[in-house]
Amino acid sequence: MEDASVAEARKDHPMWSSRFAFILAASGSAVGLGNIWKFPYITGENGGGAFVLVYLLCIALIGLPIMIAEVTIGRRGGRSPINSLRMLTHRDGLSSRWTWIGWMGITASFLILSFYSVIGGWALAYVGQSASGAFSGGNADSIGALFGGLLADPWTLLVWHSVFMALVIFIVARGIRSGMEKAINILMPLLFLLLLVMVGYAMNSGEFSQGFAFLFQPDFSKLTTAGILTALGHAFFTLSLGMGVMMAYGSYLPKNVSIVKTAVAVSVVDTAVALLAGLAIFPLVFANGLEPGSGPGLIFQTLPMAFGQMTGGVLFGSLFFGLLVIAAVTSAISLLEPVVEWLEEQKGISRLSGTLMGGISIWLLGLLTILSFNEWSNVYPLSFISAFESKTFFDLLDYVTANLMMPLGGLFIAIFVGWFMNKQAVENQLDLSNDVAFSLFMFVLRFITPAAVLVVFINNLL
């Protein structure tokens, strides 16, 4: 039944050592630059509380069902996203065109990692800056110049991008258990610890109540349609959905683990980290009279100003950027994994050579992002399409993956599992003791999730 290469791919397939290991790994994928860099600045730009509320709704109604669907496909298929879909469609007698979701997902992982690594490199560079006291006594101009200086210098960006990718390749090459699981077991607890230290610091030295109110007191007059779209797009990005990462991780999930419970745990951890990051950042922003809506530079420009002005700023600044590096690394390994898992399934490619092939090609593609900030900052490759008129290579990669590929992937995943995949198989995978819970889940996955994604997706295109 199964073709030989697919059957071959199943041999020697490793597994996470426990449910906890999977939760930690999937949370490591979900918790990343999205939580600590992007969530605070888009919340700032969109006025706080009301935006946060919409974001939470998107996580619960769209993100969580899609995560469950993705892990279900991955575990039932037990292979890379492409081959899992190929096998499932074959087994259920469906069109093999669904495999296309896997191809798009692996392409998206490839594209996202190419720029994610460059931004991870900024975080690495900032650990050094912080530790050397470069922010001390800095004002808006001097710290703006520091950030501007980093972006303007392609060689420095290249060095940090290379260090970051080398780290990711090293971990992924060592495999699921002895590479990824080991690294994640150390990095995730460290991340939580650092985050709690930062929140504790904000409670004592920042305008904590003002920061808290900004995040949790909804003011609906500040909510815009664009804000709602941003919240949805971010729900996909922050939970690593729509592109096969959770399928790949699910393919290493032991059979007796509850998919629903683990997906809920991962979503809760991811959301908690984003909110805690907000609670660590905004009190410092307000205490220092800075602007919450300053955009992508929030943690690279605004926050260093706060670190430069406060006591213990050198230490806490270094800890904060260290935290950012850890979060970025555990997400980056999950972006490389589906690519490597698929390469490994090809005849004669070992884990090591697959990781090197994938990693080095992604590293090369990263050069486009590096140059987008300096030499090619005026190069707009698709300027003949009006929506892409003033987008650099980096802007295009970010836009096409987050606003087009991820929602589209998520939409098709929801439709595939909700409407096409063998229903008994879905029920077996989810193993919910309660029939009502299963029917409710299927209802949300079939109707609510696709409708919501579609509305937002179409709006995004217009």
The CA–CA distances, whole Å, from 442 to 184, 243, 338, 427, 450 equal: 32, 21, 27, 10, 12
Count helices and strands in the chain by DSSP H and E runs: 23, 0
Three-point CA angle 110, 365, 30, nearest 5°: 35
Nearest distance in Å: CB 159, ligand PHE: 22
| Amino acid code (one letter) for 220 | F
Can you tell me the distance from the alpha carbon of 439 to that of 156, in angstroms, rounded to the nearest whole number? 54
Structure tokens at 144: 């703006």
| Per-residue buried b or exposed e for 234-269, using 16+ beta carbons within 10 Å of the residue's own CB | bbbbbbbbbbbbbbbbbbbbeeebebbebbbbbbeb
Nearest distance in Å: CB 211, ligand PHE: 21
Nearest distance in Å: CB 270, ligand PHE: 7
Nearest residue (CB) to ligand PHE, 89 versus 240 = 240
Nearest distance in Å: CB 274, ligand PHE: 8
Out of 164, 237, 316, 363, the residue judged to bind ligand PHE by CB under 6 A: 237
Among residue numbers 362 through 381, which ones bind ligand PHE (CB under 6 A)? none
**Position 191 contacts ligand PHE (CB under 6 A):** no
Interface characters, 4-43, with ligand PHE (x: CB under 6 A): -------------------------xx-xxxx--------
Nearest distance in Å: CB 242, ligand PHE: 8
**Position 250 contacts ligand PHE (CB under 6 A):** no
Nearest residue (CB) to ligand PHE, 80 versus 238 = 238
Can you tell me the distance from the alpha carbon of 333 to that of 124, in angstroms, rounded to the nearest whole number? 16
The position carrying tokens 């991008």 is 161
**Position 238 contacts ligand PHE (CB under 6 A):** yes
Nearest distance in Å: CB 254, ligand PHE: 22
Residue 176 · residue 14 · CB < 8 Å = yes
Out of 245, 265, 287, 329, the residue judged to bind ligand PHE by CB under 6 A: 245
Chain residues that interact with ligand PHE, rule: CB under 6 A? 29-30, 32-35, 112, 237-238, 240, 243, 245, 331, 334-335
